A and B are shown apart, each in its own frame.
Chain A
Amino acid sequence: MVELGDIVVKDIIKVYKTGKSEVIALRGLDCTIGGGKILAIMGPSGCGKTTLLNIIGGLDRPTAGSINIDGVNLVDLSDADLVKHRRQRVGIVFQFFNLVPTLTARENIELPMRLAGKNSEEMTSRSAMLLKLVDMEPRGTHRPDEMSGGEQQRIGIATALANDPPIILADEPTGELDTATGQQILHLFQKLRDDYKKTVVIVTHDQRIGQIADTVMTIVDGRITSTMTGAEFHEKATIPANQSVPSPS
């Protein structure tokens, strides 16, 4: 049975041509990500983890293979359908936040809803709800240059949730944040899975991810080298006691 947010990746190959040379970023990747789970993807720089994320997010197309999300094969989609996919099925959280600098926090959250053609009432109520969810209600009228990194990333998460997609993709979401703030962000992802049943795929180097992830997948040179549960990963990882992610209350 296909659950909402189910992702099935089969034999994905991605080749980049740079000048005269070719780089094989993914070499026949197979994996399944169950709906309502957190998958962490880890690996050294250049291993292909961000490439996989981009393909799932509809930002890029694979050279070969298939990728099914909620029963829909992304490879068969036209460019216009990919836009819809990005609008409705996935929400992306970026390492460098990528908020529109001239818009306020609320307006940034409303942006995907506007692009999707939602009416004003719906936008207003949903943006208020999302600001509350990420604990940024007082900062709704502030612009990105008036916020800290952590605050911007919270808004980034809220923006990703704007059209209520079943899948959240996060590319190094804590990469630009200090430890404490990073922990808060990880906690948010936990909440999204537990309370909202979102499927969350996180590309990260952050060792603490094992504390919240259901599955941790390691990719090296475009291939999956290991897959383990979050608990198994957490046992192996060395994390200072004061950096643990608080358990959900």
Chain B
Amino acid sequence: MSFLSFFNYPIGSVIRNKRRSLFAIAGIVIALSLISGSWIAVDSSGMGLLRSRLDKIPVDFVAWGRTSPLHGVNESYVAERIAAIESVDDVVDATAFGTGSGWYYSNSLGETLEDDTPWLYNYSGTLMFLSQDYGRFFSAFHVDGELPDPGTVAIPGYVADQLNLTVGDNIICRIENWIGETDPWGNYTYTTLYLNLSFEISKIWTQDKSSWSDDYYWSYVDHSDDPGWIDFKSVYNPVVFNLADLPLVDVPATAFMEHWGPTVSYYIWVDRDNIIDLADLQGSLDRLEQLKIQLDRIGMRYDFMVNDSELVYPLYDLIPRMEGIKPLFVALSLPVVALGAYLSIVGIDLGISERKREIAILKSRGASNRQVFTSLLTESFLLGTFAGVLGLVLGVLVSRFLLDAATIFSYEGEGSAIASDFMISEWTIIYSVLFGIALMTASSYRPYKKISKADVKEALRYYSPTVVQIDYKPRMDIIFLSLSIISILSIWVGFDWTDNLQNVSWITRLILSILILVGIVIFPLMPFLLSLSVIRLLTRGSRKLYSKLTFIVRPWTKELHYLVEKNIVRNPRRASNLCLIIALSLAFGLFISVTMESTMRYQENLIQFEVGADIKTQSDYYWGGAPEQLNPAILEEIGSVEGVESHSLYEAVRVSYGYYGGYYGGQTIAFDALAYEDTVHPDGFYFVEGGRGSLEDLADLNGTVLITQWIAEDYGISVGDDIPLMLDLTNYSSGFYDYKFVNYWGYVIGIVKSLPGLESYSIYMDKSALDFVPAQNRTEIVSAYGAFVEVLDGYEQAAVADDIDHVFTDAGMSPYSITVDERMEELNNDPAFRALTDFLYMEYVLSVAIMTIGVGILIFVAVNDREKELASIMARGSSAGQIRKILMGESFTLMVLGLIVGASVGLLTAYLFQSLYAGESSVVPREMLFTWISAVIVVASVGALIVASLVATSRAGKIKLAEVLRIRGG
């Protein structure tokens, strides 16, 4: 047979047997749809992300004149250079401007613009001389303004507001110079000289910075919402002249200061659509590099140098992230890939049993084992290619649901993906096809190898679907089960034991460490190994379990129950495949939902712990502050703020464990313990010894303290102990340190893990415990004032927090508030968390699809195999409904087994996963949650299975009896 004609047979086989081909590739198509879908989503949403980052870059290249200062710059000078720059391919526009810095702005009343730091220095501004050929300057920087009239200036709205200036007024630009001289006696004196230039204001500019943040500029005060604040990235709040008016400044300034002069700069814009190809980011970087080289060449002639384009930074940032995240998604897709490959193996297996005679006939006609195997493998190759393409097509649909997944590496508030963004890179196509071929070949290699060696005469015998005998060897399943148990035990037990490892011999330590390591390494595979081994041992090792389980369907199948009982054991391999697919899908789904919900609850608990109540407001003080200006008594007014249900005040005081001259540690909170209990409602979980009642004791019993567990352990303190406390009364207000310490004793009435809202503190006392401190010294010992607030239903936490802030401000404090709602919103909007959740739930949906299809295929083939038998039962008086009852009874029994094992494995894995994390010490309780979402998953899985069974068994009622029973032979 010629090489090309050889392919006719496998190609024909794939095309002719569409059902068999689809069964073989169904699982792999779904698995590939997730991988290709995630990659398409990464590329597509990367477009949106890149677009939003590029939009924040107003100018593509910035060039600086080499000679500085440069006098005599005029329009013809810059025009020549702009023309040269614009002659470079892909440069679409350029403009030039001169700048001179170090100028102060004042008004005619002599008021000088101050900067926004607390030290209120004079603002050091820049004069800018903009060419008439300003190009995209205004649009690129979103400036609402025009060039000033000749001889006049344009100023930023911020400057106008601060100096009370308007159009028609004059602004005075001042520069300072210092002349110093030393007299013969060595005394140095200097004289400050001023040059004041006054210019009429003809334009006031504003800028819309809403589309881009001030990433590149740090300001003491955030001006991003102030349209009057002008930000040109390298120049801030300039006073702007026409370039032609440069002599109005240059001449007097140069005369005043010899070294003064403007620097000439150029803003350059390129054709981004041509340069940046989002499908070829590396190529884009190369093109930008080439462009810079060409501009540099122009610069060598025209005396300027070009900076690297800012456009490269988002590309440099995104390229490795986007490429790096793709393997991550492949890794996360492994469960559904494994499931899909398993379904493919099942599909191939089913196809093989149909083709036994065909292959035997081929061999009886002269085909060698090798030829048969090569032909079958060629079919795999073709099917794999087709699966890759089909997976890609389906992946396009899947990608629409995963657009947020790619923003896993974005920053909050950045442009998220738009549904219209769509990109498939050629590598996605190539990898999809390659994965398809690889998975298909891996799935089919062993079964095809086996069938190609099958005995001819054995396969040519008439095959009657009697009871299938399987030669089951449980060795591998026992090994898998053992590994799973080791994994479970090592995680369950291991972490507890690590604390005690110092007390055991080195051999025990070594063995335990190896066990724990093995357990952790195996853990990701554990659910798969556990489900596989348990199902196979239960369903292939013995047939008794099936018949025992059929009692579930007895009330429904009634008189036909004995048929169900007998038939269910006839093909243990098929039965165990069905159970396994169901078990793995459900295990995965439950693991995902329970873990995600539990993690979400843990995060919520962390937030509750961090904030304490609905709102936490705190104002901190540092050494050298001015505590005498504070009026903490005003904080009592918090109780009368609208929306406040209850509140609790606290002070961080300079009390620590220990005594002056010795060791010390810990930070102390003095609070109203009863109000704290009423407002924060701390869970009993936090109280290690003493219980929640210890808060009441704290209030009732003078001199008592609660301490944290770590201090108790570190210093060997127990409940009932007296501990030395040191109060730091050091005074700073006189400008020098007046050290003063008071030692006294505290009685420990309880030990806590920590207290909500007060995590960074380790000693807690009622505020009355410090009544011995004189009133005039009271504020000096406080390093922070704070309040917890519980908000009434129906009130917005943010609004109430604002009012609380005002109370603090009235008390002379600088507060910052956090609310639970705000933190929860941040958590829910966290791109990484959201992306991961979306991806994993999508993966579960696809695994349910695989499960449903797998069950459908298995039942369909079972019905197909038994078509003649079912027809003969119908010929003997059975109705279609009775046949369906028998088939549904069989499949439902197997489903229940799969669901039980799957649910058990899923919940066990989730529990172990929580234990893995709970191994870290955490002050916040970590609970495993089974929410309505998990219940929905179970119900949805059961529903999908029932639907698949109904659809697959429905064809039993459509059997054409006469046609089927006329079939002679095998």
Contact = CB atoms under 8 A, between A and B. Distances in A.
Interface of A: 50-51, 54, 57, 59-60, 79-80, 83, 86-88, 91-92, 94-96, 98-103, 107, 111-112, 114-117, 144-145, 159-160, 162-163, 171
A1 to B, nearest CB: 28
Q: Which 3 A-B pairs have the closest CB atoms?
A: A87-B877, A98-B872, A60-B962
Contact of A59 (B464, B869, B962): B962
B629 interface: no
Nearest to B876: A112
B193 interface: no
Contacts of A99: 872
B634 interface: no
Contacts of A117: 559
A107 B877 contact: no
Contacts of A162: 876
5 contacts: A54-B965, A57-B875, A87-B876, A112-B877, A145-B466
Nearest to A92: B875
B876 A102 contact: no
A101 B464 contact: yes
A98 B465 CA distance: 11
A83 B877 contact: yes
Interface string B557-579: 00110110011011000000000
B937 interface: no
Contacts of A88: 877
Given A79-B880, A101-B869, 13 more contacts: A54-B965, A54-B966, A57-B875, A59-B965, A83-B877, A86-B876, A88-B877, A95-B968, A98-B868, A101-B467, A102-B467, A107-B566, A115-B878
Contacts of A98: 868-869, 872, 875, 965
A28 B878 CA distance: 30
Contact of B875 (A50, A86, A101, A144): A86
B965 A94 contact: yes
Contact of B466 (A79, A101, A171): A101
A114 B559 contact: yes
Contacts of B869: 98, 100-101
B769 interface: no
A182 B874 CA distance: 26
Contacts of A60: 961-962
Contacts of A51: 962
Given A98-B868, A103-B563, A111-B873, A80 B962 contact: no
B220 to A, nearest CB: 85
A59 B877 CA distance: 10
Contacts of A144: 466
B955 to A, nearest CB: 16
B882 interface: yes
Contacts of B464: 101
B879 interface: yes
Given A50-B966, A114-B560, A117-B559, A103 B876 contact: no
Interface centre among A107, A111, A144, by most chain B C-beta atoms within 10 angstroms, is A111
A100 B873 contact: yes
Contacts of B882: 115
Contact of A103 (B465, B566, B961): B566
A90 to B, nearest CB: 9
Contact of B570 (A59, A80, A94, A102): A102
A235 B913 CA distance: 87
Contacts of A87: 876-877
Nearest to B562: A107
Contacts of B563: 100, 103, 111
A101 B465 contact: yes
Interface residues of B, number: 29
Contacts of A96: 968
A60 B959 CA distance: 11
Interface string B315-347: 000000000000000000000000000000000
A92 B968 CA distance: 16
B876 A92 contact: yes
B877 A115 contact: yes
A159 B569 CA distance: 23
A117 B877 CA distance: 11
Contacts of B467: 101-102, 145
Contacts of B877: 83, 86-88, 112, 115-116, 163
Interface string B860-904: 000000001100111111111010000000000000000000000
Contact of B876 (A95, A101, A107, A111): A111
A159 B868 CA distance: 16
Contacts of A101: 464-467, 570, 869
Nearest to A55: B962
Interface in B509-566: 559-560, 562-563, 566
Interface string B612-641: 000000000000000000000000000000
A88 B965 CA distance: 20
Contacts of A86: 874-877
Nearest to B561: A114
Nearest to B961: A59
Contacts of B876: 86-87, 91-92, 111-112, 115, 159-160, 162
Nearest to A119: B559
A51 B961 CA distance: 11
B879 A102 contact: no
Interface string B565-603: 011011000000000000000000000000000000000
Contact of B879 (A80, A92, A100, A114): A80
Nearest to B560: A114
A88 B876 CA distance: 9
B891 to A, nearest CB: 16
A94 B872 contact: yes
Contacts of B961: 54, 59-60
A35 to B, nearest CB: 21
A107 B464 CA distance: 19
A78 B875 CA distance: 15
A96 B964 CA distance: 13
Interface centre among B566, B868, B965, B966, by most chain A C-beta atoms within 10 angstroms, is B965
B866 to A, nearest CB: 9
A83 B563 CA distance: 19
A173 B418 CA distance: 71
A239 B424 CA distance: 78
A159 to B, nearest CB: 7
B546 to A, nearest CB: 12
Interface centre among B876, B882, B968, by most chain A C-beta atoms within 10 angstroms, is B876
Nearest to A53: B962
A180 to B, nearest CB: 22
A116 B559 CA distance: 10
A79 B960 CA distance: 12
Nearest to B967: A96
A79 B566 CA distance: 28
A145 B874 CA distance: 21
Contacts of B566: 100, 102-103, 107
Contacts of A163: 877
Interface string B425-466: 000000000000000000000000000000000000000111
Contacts of B872: 94, 98-100
Nearest to A159: B876
A15 B634 CA distance: 101
Contacts of B562: 107, 114
A233 B185 CA distance: 157
A5 B934 CA distance: 62
Contacts of B559: 114-115, 117
Contacts of A95: 968
A100 B466 CA distance: 8
Contacts of A80: 879
B695 to A, nearest CB: 71
A135 B634 CA distance: 108
Given A98-B869, A100-B873, A83 B878 contact: yes
A115 B874 CA distance: 9
Nearest to A84: B877
